[in-house]
């Protein structure tokens, strides 16, 4: 039996083309999967926001946007509305503390931040700069009265 080199070359070329097509299909499938995952993530986030709003839940993203846009009185009212129903919600306590701190209600801010840190020790690193500043202001106020 003789081996036809032309047939072998054609067969080799066909196998290479098949391999290239399989690689392209795999890359296309991977891209489609990533797009599907990203789309699913955004749908879930959108649904969470809708359900938070529809169910009357506290939305930390909304609270952050209110704070970042300087709408602190609105943030304060938003947090006060929810803290009554959920006094141990760390997100509400944190945003309430930021609103109180920004409006100059340092005693209440201190209580909110301390409560958030008690409920979730991971919040300590976030609230400690606020608490340190409040303590520094208390020390400065005491020193000013003793002079």
Summarize the confidence of residues 124-136 as an average pLDDT: 95
CA distance 104 to 101: 5
Number of residues in the chain:
147
Residues 53 and 121 placed together within one structural domain of the fold: no
* Domain around 24: 1-57
pLDDT interval class at 12 (50, 70, 90): confident
Same domain, 44 and 110: no
Distance between CA 62 and CA 81 in Å, rounded? 14
pLDDT tens digits, residue range 19-38?
A: 788 888 888 899 999 999 98
39-88 pLDDT, tens digit per residue, is 888 887 777 666 555 567 899 999 999 999 999 999 999 999 999 999 99
Rounded to two decimals, the pTM is 0.63
Number of structural domains in the chain: 2
Under 8 Å between Cβ of 131 and 113: yes
Give the Cβ contact number of residue 138 at 10 Å. Answer: 13
pLDDT of residue 5: 80
Pair (48, 70) in one structural domain? no
Q: CB 66: neighbour CB atoms within 10 A?
A: 22
| Whether 35 and 80 share a structural domain | no
């Amino acid at each position: 039996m003789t081996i036809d080199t032309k047939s072998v070359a054609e067969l080799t070329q066909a196998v290479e083309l098949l391999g290239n097509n399989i690689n392209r299909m795999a890359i296309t499938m991977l891209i489609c999967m990533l797009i599907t995952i990203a789309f699913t993530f955004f749908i879930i986030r959108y649904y969470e926001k809708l359900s938070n709003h529809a169910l009357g839940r506290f939305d930390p993203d909304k609270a952050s946007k209110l704070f970042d846009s300087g709408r602190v009185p609105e943030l304060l009212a938003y947090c006060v509305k929810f803290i009554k129903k959920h006094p141990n919600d760390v997100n509400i306590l944190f945003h309430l503390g930021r609103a109180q701190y920004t409006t100059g209600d340092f005693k209440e801010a201190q209580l909110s931040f301390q409560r958030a840190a008690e409920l979730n020790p991971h919040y300590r690193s976030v609230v400690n700069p606020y608490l340190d500043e409040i303590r520094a202001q208390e020390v400065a106020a005491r020193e000013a009265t003793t002079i």
